[in-house]
Amino acid sequence: MSRPPNPRARAVKKLRSASGRLSTAATRRMESDLPWFAELSAEERSWVGLIVQAGIHDFIAWFKQDSASPRFDQAPEANLFGVAPPALAGTIPLHQTVELIRLTIEVVEQSLESILDPDDVSDTHDAVLLYAREAAFATAEVYARAAEVRGAWDARLEALVVDAVLRDETDDAVLSRASAVGWGARGNVAVVLGAVPAEHTEAGVVDAVRRAARAAGMDALGAVQGHRLVAILGGVSDPEKAARAVVDLYGDGPVVVGPVAADLGHAYLSAQSATAGLRAAVGWPEAPRPVLSEDLLPERILDGDEWARMEAIDQVYEPLAQARGTLVETLSAYFANGAAIEPTARALFVHPNTVRYRLGQVADLTGLTPSRPRDALTLQLALALGRL
């Protein structure tokens, strides 16, 4: 028993003969109707032409199937976009690609009556609309996958940049990579460290940090390192204020911000201080959140942080030792006498107001008030380290 002829054979034959004309007509319409098309390079325009040709040929092959309602054995994307490199998705945005497909479909629809017998036009027209719908879905899927891959690559690149900054390996290549993931290089950088929130995805929490920083007028780089969330903030004037912009995105526990560094190349200094502060923060359960790493100086010293020891000597002991008068002697006597003014004055054979004046000088030089318990602890440790 012989097989009945394909009812669409006649239309398919004429469409195949006209495929070259249809491709050329679609490309000419793009040049005349789409101003941005002319701005593409010759190579990029040739890629678009290949996509148009592939689309028309793929439609004809699909339409040729011996069925009144042919099925899609595979999505059109493989034939439509397989002829062009994936990089094209980064050159032509989704809305422009949709314009290309829409215009191509219009050209094919408008040409059907001049190509086909009248009896074949209606059936072919319906098939064109069905194929156009599938092509639109395929286009969206291609761009969605490209965006997903690009996002995953950017996240890995950003994590590498953050790791390099924390390791003090910030060379020109790292700075270039930072720029590629959106770093604006505005200087004044601070590093914020804390726990990763319990319910999170790595990409989600880093994106949230980036959005919060942008809303506060700052640049941001972020990464999850084990149980630690790292945020590098740029364009910082006040590190504590900057950290408050992102503190709610961290998990339970302390959130520590390092001092301001001059730029991303020196951000490791802020990172070192913040890392030591986060490690030592357990020694101050009542610490505010966020807390400056500088405010954790006593705990960092007790934890064996050599940078904190040097900071206490350079910024606290040395200014006192080099100042006029006997500030070190006065401060030592003050602590030895239970932080009481009158006994200190008697021990030094001076008037109580002299003691008060000298303690005020201590506060002016160091930013630490001897009568405050935490400041007193820092001053006592600095005195001990200075003598050692």
DSSP letter assigned to residue 171: -
User: Based on the domain organization, do 41 and 99 belong to the same domain?
Assistant: yes
Domain assignment of residue 170, yes or no: no
pLDDT of residue 55: 79
Question: Encoding tokens for residue 126?
Answer: 């319906």
User: Based on the domain organization, do 146 and 17 belong to the same domain?
Assistant: yes
Question: Quick one: average pLDDT of 269-298?
Answer: 93
pLDDT of residue 349: 92
Question: Quick one: average pLDDT of 229-254?
Answer: 92
Degrees to nearest 5, angle at CA 372 with 369 and 377: 90
User: pLDDT by residue (tens digit) across 66-76?
Assistant: 555 555 445 55
Split at pLDDT 50, 70, 90, the class of 2 is very low
Spatial separation of the C-alpha atoms in residues 105 and 98, rounded to whole Å: 11
User: Based on the domain organization, do 240 and 322 belong to the same domain?
Assistant: no
User: Based on the domain organization, do 26 and 139 belong to the same domain?
Assistant: yes
User: Based on the domain organization, do 97 and 135 belong to the same domain?
Assistant: yes
User: Based on the domain organization, do 69 and 142 belong to the same domain?
Assistant: yes
Domain that holds residue 314: 306-387
Q: Is the pLDDT of residue 366 over 80?
A: yes
User: Based on the domain organization, do 229 and 323 belong to the same domain?
Assistant: no
How many percent of the chain have pLDDT more than 70?
Answer: 84
Domain assignment of residue 174, yes or no: no
User: Based on the domain organization, do 120 and 209 belong to the same domain?
Assistant: no
Q: Name the 3-class secondary structure at 365.
A: helix
Q: What DSSP assignment string belongs to 100-147?
A: HHHHHHHHHHHHHHHHS-HHHHHHHHHHHHHHHHHHHHHHHHHHHHHH
How many percent of the chain have pLDDT more than 90?
Answer: 37
Q: Is the pLDDT of residue 82 over 70?
A: no
Identify the CATH number of the domain in which residue 312 sits: 1.10.10.2840
Cβ proximity of 315 and 366 under 8 Å: yes
What's the whole-model pTM score? 0.60
Say which range, 88-97, 122-131, 246-255, has the weakest mean pLDDT.
Answer: 88-97
Of 251, 272, 300, the domain-final residue: 300
How many domains in the chain? 3
pLDDT of residue 100: 78
Domain assignment of residue 173, yes or no: no
Nearest to 57 by CA among 116, 114, 97, 17: 17
User: Based on the domain organization, do 23 and 98 belong to the same domain?
Assistant: yes
Split at pLDDT 50, 70, 90, the class of 141 is low
Domain assignment of residue 88, yes or no: yes
Of 103, 134, 150, the domain-final residue: 150
| Helix pair 9-33, 118-166: axis angle to 10 deg | 50
Cβ proximity of 199 and 305 under 8 Å: no
Q: How many CB atoms lie within 10 A of CB 60?
A: 19
Of 300, 334, 367, the domain-final residue: 300
User: Average pLDDT over the chain, rounded to whole?
Assistant: 82
pLDDT of residue 142: 62
Domain assignment of residue 265, yes or no: yes
